[in-house]
Amino acid sequence: MFALPPGTRAILLANVLLFLIQLATHDQLTGLLALQPPGPDFHLWQLVTYAFLHEQPAHIFFNMFALFMFGGQLERFFGTSRFLQYYFACVLAAALVQLATEALSGVGEPTLGASGGIFGLLLAFGLYFPRQRVFVLPIPVPIPAWLFVTFYALVELFLGVTGREANVAHFAHLGGMLGGAVMILLWQAEGRPRGQL
């Protein structure tokens, strides 16, 4: 973990620390920091703070494992400042899409987890390292990153549209990818080489 570049390491450590605080306080942070549905319990800071809370050990493990796997390489590619800008744009976009989805559906509950930011990282990894091979269980052979990301996005879209796994914020995951796509398109339009802000 400590071989990771500083931005990725800071996000990982902040998530672990907040999860430990959640456990120690019997999850009293959720009402204040989780992303609440549109209404009186919603506060602006929740657009970011929700991404540092997790429901259970498996939830944080898989998110932080993905951050470990993909974040470091992307941070070295982008540079730390640009990587952090990208990650938090994905977190914010995921939150806004989730709020819009809940407002349209009329059904909402608190949202928490780093998955929106992680899905944004997956998009960037698939775009910038499309041929790099990744292992995906239960597939017994490594597959190209672009195929992994495309398949994962389509599964999330299917699950979101059909309402399966209703306790998972599938549209927030797609919102993280959308935020990442917008950032990449903006950078391309500005013609900035990577690592420059």
Q: Given this model, what pLDDT does residue 75 score?
A: 97
Q: What are the contacts of 190-197 at 24+ separation with CB within 8 A?
A: 194/77, 194/78, 194/79, 194/82, 195/78, 195/79, 195/82, 196/79, 196/82, 197/81, 197/82, 197/85
Query: Rounded mean pLDDT of 112-131?
Result: 96
The pLDDT-based confidence of 197 (bands split at 50, 70, 90) is: very low
DSSP structure class, residue 36: P
Q: Given this model, what pLDDT does residue 134 score?
A: 84
Domains of the chain by residue range: 6-190
Given the candidates 3.20.20.120, 1.10.10.10, 3.10.20.30, 1.20.1540.10, the CATH classification of the domain at 6-190 is: 1.20.1540.10
pLDDT of 99-108, one tens digit each?
A: 999 888 877 7
Query: Rounded mean pLDDT of 126-155?
Result: 87
What are the φ and ψ backbone dihedral angles of 164, each rounded to 5 degrees? Answer: -75, 155
The pLDDT-based confidence of 193 (bands split at 50, 70, 90) is: low
140: its two tokens: 């017994």
pTM of the model: 0.91
Tell me how many degrees the CA angle 162-181-193 measures, rounded to the nearest 5: 165
Q: Given this model, what pLDDT does residue 105 score?
A: 82
